[in-house]
Structure 1
Amino acid sequence: MSGLAAIFPRRLLAANLYFTLIVYAIFVVVVMGVAVAIGVLGDLESSVWERAVQAARWFVLVIGITAVRLYLPVYVAHGRTRREFAAQAAVFALLFAPAVAALTALGYLLEGLVYRLGGWPHQIADRHLFDGPGQVAPVLAEYWAQYLVWVSAGALLGAAFYRLSVGGVLLIPVAAIPVILVHSATDLVQVLPLIGRLPTPDLPGTTGTAIIAAMGGCALIFALTWAFIRDIAIRNPG
């Protein structure tokens, strides 16, 4: 039991989930308000949430970055080892990704209620693992895979920039590879403007492919992140 307690990221989860719920509540109100405005003033033919939730990936990336840059020095300063922090950060990523995926799926359901009340068609516009926004299981699978690689990529970048300063920019292409692979297997959204101009793999759009890509990419990123933080020097905040 003590071993499980040692790797369970209670503080990381509590702080970041609390902040996420606040941001989520504001985000839902704004997006639903935009959807209603479009429906009343124009033509509402597809999900606004589908487009808006792309911002969640960047939010998750930032959470991954801050999880290392902000919390690693605090953990070490309070007597925890870098190995203990790495284990907790890995578990945090594995738990945080499905939590945000669940909030994303809930957003689709809430949007569905709004669309039903307004008499608007609730449809999706892009390729996904799901055919409709109400298909909860494939919605969860797709966004779980995406958020897992985004939060993991954020942790890698946080560790790289903390250790190498501006040299951390060299790790951006490495962190982007799992992200590209997962998106190739899910929605093919242009994650970055540059990606749309580069040859990218067209993986089979199946849940199994997305899960394999996410877990494989996550394992690679975890290994690289550990390589950066295993003997990293903790800087004086002052």
Structure 2
Amino acid sequence: MASVDGTGASVSGRLRSGDLLHAGLAVALLLGVWHVGGLEVTTGKVSMTEAINGSTVLLPCSYMSCIGIRNLYFRWEYNDNGTLLKYCQAEIPMAGVEPKVEIFHSRVEFVGSSRGNISILLKNITFEDAGDYICFARNQKEKNRNHSATFTLKVVDQLKEVDNTLTVIIVSVLGGVIGLVIIVMVIKALVVHFLLKDDEKNKECLVSSSGNDNTENGLSGAKADNKGTPKA
């Protein structure tokens, strides 16, 4: 028979409730860790580039999983007005194993590695190659958790020249202000120097004139005293 406390609640029932609560918290914590450390795919901080018609462009992509990988499948696709065209695909059995990549486009070259890099090169691009490229990955170790990222390519005749006029103006103005401040400080230092020099000369003149006055006064007094002494 279950014991009952002063409130009438079953002690064993409370214990079971506490166990369920702890178990729920543990499951939530594990799910949170799994979510944070799960598979992530990225095409870099800037997921867009402009390239000149006829050039070769890098389509960057990398994956990361704190849990690790097993039979990680990845592919590159091009979004042709809603139709996804597969460019390449491969499966990585485990970390450190180089993938055997299947290429489905004549101008595509895989340049990734076994360290999470699954980038490709697109050679001799044309204006028709402009658009969105999707990098997709799926990790069997995480119950086929998958993630994807999009990289946008713009094809142009020539790259735009960056107008540095404003930068040149700002640098010129700042340089002029700094130069003016330096000139003012130099002039101020020279003025202070000459003023101090003149002040020292004035002090020397005052001291000299004061000494001369005292000497003349002393000599006159001596002569007067000698003349005033009566002879015996």
Q: What's the TM-score, normalizing by structure 2?
A: 0.22
Q: Which has the larger radius of gyration?
A: 2
State the structure with bigger RCO (CA 8 A, min sep 6), 1 or 2.
1
Instruction: Select the structure that is richer in helix.
Output: 1
Structure 1 or 2: more strand by fraction:
2
TM-score (norm 1): 0.22
